[in-house]
Homo-oligomer: A and B are copies of this chain.
Amino acid sequence: MKIAVLGTGMVGQALAGALSSLGHDVTVGTRDPESTAGKTEPDRMGNAPYPVWAADHPAVTLATFAESARDAELVVNASGGAVSLDVLRQAGADNLAGKVLLDVSLPLDVSAGFPPSLFVSNTDSLGEQVQREFPAARVVKSLNTLNATLMVNPGLLGEGSTVFVSGNDADAKSTVTSLLEALGHTDVIDLGDITTARGTEMMFAGWIRLMGVLGTSKFNWKVVR
């Protein structure tokens, strides 16, 4: 499948690398490819600059948000939640129309320090905002409940855990579920329409505190039933 991964950060790198390893034709989308390709400094989180990662992933190409989305069959929104709507506008509504849009973003509000709160929650969600603004895209919210490493390698945990899909389009959820299973996820729960993204986005409030007390982000939710 031709896949665009919008976002060059830790989540974008993890997903682009893993999807490329699975044999997909992956392009990473960025605001300014020349600037991204020229980076030499680690990001604010201490992650290596994009070119260091790209050197290890020669099959993954780099393009603008719009170019990558235009040529893709499936688009992954791996940008930060605060800029996601802007990134998707740059990708272009026409380039997203009819396509599966896997949205892994979280609506983090860091304006009041740590822990972040959510800038939309409870009676709305970022997943819904994306779907409303791009009605012709087939938005599937998923993978927003665990860290980037576990998104693409859930087997790192000693036992199976759960991920979720939320969206209005059954075929799109089916496509995403197949991708998730290819990444190693063994328990994918379809929560329902895109309004159920409220639930998974709001799990962040517990997740961030768990990270604090467990001293690691290497954990995941499992629905025991």
Query: Chain A interface (Cβ within 8 Å of chain B)?
Result: 112, 117-118, 121-123, 157-161, 164, 189-192, 196, 198-200, 202-203, 205-210, 212-214, 216, 218-225
Contacts and interface: CB of A to CB of B under 8 A. Distances in A.
Contact of A199 (B164, B206, B216): B206
A224 B192 contact: no
Copy count, this protein chain: 2
Contacts of A209: 191-192, 196, 199
A123 B192 CA distance: 27
**Interface secondary structure of A, over-half rule:** mixed
7 contacts: A117-B122, A158-B224, A191-B209, A192-B209, A199-B206, A199-B207, A222-B224
A124 to B, nearest CB: 10
A149 B21 CA distance: 45
A224 B223 contact: no
A27 to B, nearest CB: 33
Given A117-B122, A121-B121, A190 B202 contact: no
Most buried by B among A190, A200, A202: A202
